[in-house]
Amino acid sequence: MQKAFGNDKFALKNARIELKKEFVKSKNVVNNNELTELYKGVEEVDEMLNFHLVQASLNQRGNYGMNITF
C-alpha cells in the first residue's frame, strides 16, 4: 500500500482499515476453494494498487500532476 499511496496518510490509514475489515470477515474460512478465491481477490487488489492506480497532487501552479515511474 505504501507504494500505491506514497505519503498520503489519509489514504494509507483508510486502506489499512478496509484491508483489516476484509481479513477479519474471512478469518474463519477453512474451505480450500473459498481460500483460493479469497487469495485470487487479494492478488487482484495487489495488481490494481501496484499497476493500475495513479495519484495526482496539486502543484504550485494550481494544476494536478503526477510522477510516473517504470
Cell of 45: 487488489
In this predicted model, what pLDDT tens digit does every residue of 52-69 receive, in sequence order? 777 788 899 999 988 776
Q: Are 61 and 14 in contact (CB under 8 A)?
A: no
Q: Residue 29: its pLDDT value, please?
A: 95
| Predicted TM-score (pTM) above 0.75 | no
In this predicted model, what pLDDT tens digit does every residue of 27-36 receive, in sequence order? 999 999 999 9
Split at pLDDT 50, 70, 90, the class of 46 is confident
Q: Residue 1: its pLDDT value, please?
A: 64
Torsion of CA 24, 5, 41, 26, to 10 degrees: 0
Torsion of CA 34, 36, 37, 43, to 10 degrees: 150
